[in-house]
Amino acid sequence: MWAARRMASAMSASSAALTFELVAKCSTTRARASIMTLPHGPVNLPMFMPVATQASLKGLTPEQLEDTECKLCLNNTYHLGLKPGQEVLDAVGGAHKLQGWDHNILTDSGGFQMVSLLKLANVTEEGVRFLSPHDGTPMLLTPEHSISLQNSIGSDIMMQLDDVLVTTSPDKARMREAMERSIRWLDRCIAAHKNPDRQNLFCIIQGGLDLDMRRECCRGMVARDTPGIAIGGLSGGEAKDDFCRVVGTCTQLLPELKPRYVMGIGYPEDLVVSVALGADMFDCVWPTRTARFGNAVTKFGMLNLRRDVYAADFGPIEEGCGCPCCRPADQEGSMGITRAFVHHNAAKETVAAHLLTMHNVWYQLHLMSGAREAIIADRFPAFVKEFFGRLYPDGQSYPSWAVDALRGVGIDLIQT
């Protein structure tokens, strides 16, 4: 069966503010290509969403972010709640207006930052309790607070407040409590959501690394029929095998005609494997953060351009890349950036960070659009092999977790 299994137009589903159209499915793996239409326009899936934490993608203008062909980026509710704050967001008319971004925005719930970064937080049934780091005053952040803020932000996709635990937590009882509480909180979020006609609320599957708990959570969440579904609590230091098992287990249980979002994933290998396992959307600060440390993400692996070997390297950041930094000088919009120039200014002028941010975001977006094209042409397994072959040119040292996970969906990396 080598012919592409193109989907009939009947393969689509709509809710008030989201239409999901399944365009193609890989005939070998569980990978899918789709179009998700949101209030600010259509988005091709699978896709990587760059993270504009504080309503700005680390030095890039919205115009430059548009130049990378990005149609959906993230803002963080926690950060926008602190700055500029809800009052300003209401007065300005939401985050799109604030940052001059006419495309889609997804916001997280703020719970992750609260719990993982303000480690003093305690989670109770009411919400997340924490001490104001400013003056020690006890405070409470509830699902209702989070939804109210996300309504003010006006994001096209909002995330429910969930009870996040590190997946590696050994406390089964606590893990179950968190999973069940997340379902109860979803109900509170749905009840508090004021704009279901123009903002989508996604649920988040919890349950740590316990597959049965994940399955139970899937059933509970799916029953609530949100327009999209996220798999949460991952990328917290668990083994990659465990990560793949959880993603693979959940995607099998999720309805076909809803977008599936794996939260906090950004390494290229993780993206490609997760797509093979049937996931559609990803986000991570890593590509933009690592850019600020002078690192370029390329199809041949990571390059730290601060290293002295790049001081007189006049090649593009990545040979063959089409981003405005790398594309050949005779092409429209080419900047003619060399590794030597990035090295010259890395950690010295912010421009070097901006250039690498632009390149890395382009890389991530185009990795996913390449995967999408391969799915549509039904040559995704070959795409996966090419991708891993470039990263591990010896054809041997593939990470075993990737080999195993891909074997589970019908791709054998070792066999040529």
Partner 1 sequence: MTNESCDKPAVMAFEVLKAAIIDGSAARLGRLALAGRRSIETPNYFAATSRGVVPHMTPDNVNKHLQAGGAYMALEDFIEQPQQVVGTVRSPPIYNAPTTELRPRKLHSFTAMPPSVLTVLGARRIPAVPAPMGNSNSSVSVFTSNGFQNLTTKDYHAAIEALRPDIAVPLADLALGAITPTSKRALRMAERTDEWLKAYFTDLNTDSVLRPHGIATFAPVLPIAYSIQWEYLERLSEDLVPANQISGLAVYDPDVVPDMLNGYTNLTPLARLSLATPSTPQQILRQVSLGLDIFVLPFINAVSDSGIAMTFTFPPPPGEPPLREDGTRTLPLGIDLSTPAYKTSLAPFSPSCTCYTCTKHHAAYVHHLLSAREMLGWTLLQTHNHAVMTSFFTSLRATLAEGQASFNDAIRRFTRVYDTEFPAGTGERPRARGYQFKTEHGAKKMNTKPWKKWDDEKIAAVRKAGIAAKLEKKLAKEAQLANGLEGNGVETPLVPEDDADELDHRGFAKIVSLDDTKDK
Q: Which is nearer to partner 1, 193 or 258 (CB)?
A: 193
314 is in an annotated binding site: no
Q: Would residue 412 show up in a list of annotated catalytic residues for this protein?
A: no
Show contacts with partner 1 in window 57-76 (CB under 8 A): 57-64, 67
Q: Which of 171, 225, 349, 412 is close enough to bind partner 1 by CB under 8 A?
A: 349
Q: Which stretch binds partner 1 (CB under 8 A): 27-35, 160-168, 170-178, 341-349?
A: 341-349
Show contacts with partner 1 in window 76-95 (CB under 8 A): 78-79, 81-88, 91-92
d(CA 306, CA 267): 20
Q: For residue 314, how many other CB atoms are within 10 A of its CB?
A: 9
26 is in an annotated binding site: no
- Count the alpha carbons within 13 Å of 66 in the hemisphere toward its beta carbon: 9
Q: Which stretch binds partner 1 (CB under 8 A): 147-155, 201-209, 216-224, 375-383?
A: 147-155
CA distances from 237 to 122, 206, 232, 264 (A): 21, 15, 13, 11
Token pair recorded at residue 200: 């989508």
Q: Does residue 332 belong to the site contacting partner 1 (CB under 8 A)? A: no
Q: Does residue 347 belong to the site contacting partner 1 (CB under 8 A)? A: yes
Q: How far is the CB of 344 from partner 1 (least distance, A)?
A: 6
Give the residue from 48, 72, 46 showing the smallest Cα distance to 200: 72
Q: What angle do CA 155, 157, 163 make, to 5 degrees?
A: 110
**What are the beta bridge partners of residue 283?**
49
Contact 203, 250 (CB under 8 A): no
Q: For helices 400-408 and 240-253, give the axis angle rounded to 10 degrees.
A: 20
Q: How far is the CB of 325 from partner 1 (least distance, A)?
A: 9
Collapsing DSSP to helix, strand or coil, 203 comes out as strand
325 is in an annotated binding site: no
Give the residue from 35, 98, 109 showing the smallest Cα distance to 72: 35
| DSSP state letter for 123 | E
Contact 217, 183 (CB under 8 A): yes
Q: For residue 336, how many other CB atoms are within 10 A of its CB?
A: 13
Site string for partner 1, 205-244 (x = CB under 8 A): ----------------------------------------
Residues 220-224: contacts with CB under 8 Å, at least 24 apart: 220/183, 221/183, 221/186, 222/253, 222/254, 222/255, 224/183, 224/186, 224/187, 224/190
Q: Does residue 345 belong to the site contacting partner 1 (CB under 8 A)? A: yes
233 is in an annotated binding site: yes
d(CA 240, CA 353): 29
Q: Does residue 54 belong to the site contacting partner 1 (CB under 8 A)? A: yes
d(CA 300, CA 241): 23
Q: Does residue 153 belong to the site contacting partner 1 (CB under 8 A)? A: no
Token pair recorded at residue 367: 């990795």
Among residues 163, 270, 280, 283, which one is catalytic?
283
Q: Would residue 102 show up in a list of annotated catalytic residues for this protein?
A: no
Count of residues engaged in binding partner 1, rule: CB under 8 A: 87
| DSSP state letter for 308 | G
359 is in an annotated binding site: yes
136 is in an annotated binding site: no
Q: How far is the CB of 390 from partner 1 (least distance, A)?
A: 26
Q: How far is the CB of 74 from partner 1 (least distance, A)?
A: 12
Q: Which of 16, 120, 377, 382 is close enough to bind partner 1 by CB under 8 A?
A: 120
130 is in an annotated binding site: no
Contact 242, 209 (CB under 8 A): yes
Q: Which of 145, 214, 260, 359 is close enough to bind partner 1 by CB under 8 A?
A: 145
Q: How far is the CB of 291 from partner 1 (least distance, A)?
A: 9
Q: Which of 103, 188, 292, 359 is close enough to bind partner 1 by CB under 8 A?
A: 292
**What are the beta bridge partners of residue 35?**
21, 44
Q: Which of 12, 15, 19, 56 is close enough to bind partner 1 by CB under 8 A?
A: 56
Contact 9, 19 (CB under 8 A): no
Q: Which is nearer to partner 1, 95 or 411 (CB)?
A: 95
Q: Which of 336, 393, 395, 410 is close enough to bind partner 1 by CB under 8 A?
A: 336
Among residues 108, 156, 163, 280, which one is catalytic?
108
Q: Provide the annotated binding site for substrate.
A: 108-112, 162, 206, 233
Catalytic annotation, residues: 108, 283
Known binding positions = 108-112, 162, 206, 233, 321, 323, 326, 359
